[in-house]
């Protein structure tokens, strides 16, 4: 049975959608993810100091692989941009079910006391990629 002090709770959610097809508005998934993470931190409702403390306490990072943009180590890039040092990090395959799997695994870690603050994220850049795809491929998106 999970201790009440170890019950996983979602404390912030962030979502960024960039539908612009203008080249000057193009954003890669890593940038979209960072903006969504900042939005989630804002969504927590914490003061600026507490928000910074929360970010620094992220000790588990789970990232869904982006199929629109190749990254050799997207979790590492995001960890660097956030300036954190998590104990746990996962980089899942592509697929809509993987965010749920990462979420479940993070909740399990929290409930067992293996981590305190988990971050789950993913991002795609379909609108940005449309500029670089062959015409026939654009028709499919």
Q: What is the pLDDT of residue 55?
A: 96
Residue 111 within any structural domain of the chain: yes
User: pTM score, two decimals?
Assistant: 0.84
Mean pLDDT taken over the chain: 87
3-state DSSP assignment of residue 69: coil
| Domain encompassing residue 132 | 25-140
Instruction: Tell me the HSE value of 131 on the side-chain side, using a 13 A CA sphere.
Output: 13
Residue 47 is part of a domain; what is its CATH number? 3.40.47.10
Angle at 51 between CA 97 and CA 64, to 5 degrees: 20
Q: What is the pLDDT of residue 138?
A: 44
With a cut of 80, say whether residue 95 has pLDDT above it. no
The pair of structure tokens assigned to 66 is: 């982006």
Residue 47 within any structural domain of the chain: yes
Answer whether 106's CB lies under 8 Å from 115's CB. yes
């Amino acid at each position: 049975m999970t201790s009440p002090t170890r019950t996983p709770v979602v404390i912030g959610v962030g979502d960024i959608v960039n539908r612009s097809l203008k080249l000057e508005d193009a954003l890669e998934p890593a940038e979209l993810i960072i903006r969504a993470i900042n939005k989630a931190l804002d969504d927590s409702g914490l003061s600026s100091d507490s928000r910074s403390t929360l970010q620094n306490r992220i000790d588990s990072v789970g990232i869904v692989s982006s199929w629109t943009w190749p990254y050799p180590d997207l979790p590492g890039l995001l960890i660097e941009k956030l300036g954190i040092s998590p104990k746990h990090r996962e980089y899942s395959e592509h697929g809509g079910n993987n965010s749920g799997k990462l979420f479940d695994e993070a909740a399990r870690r929290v409930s067992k006391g293996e981590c305190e603050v988990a971050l789950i994220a993913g991002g795609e850049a379909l609108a940005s990629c449309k500029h670089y795809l062959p015409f026939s491929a654009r028709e499919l998106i």
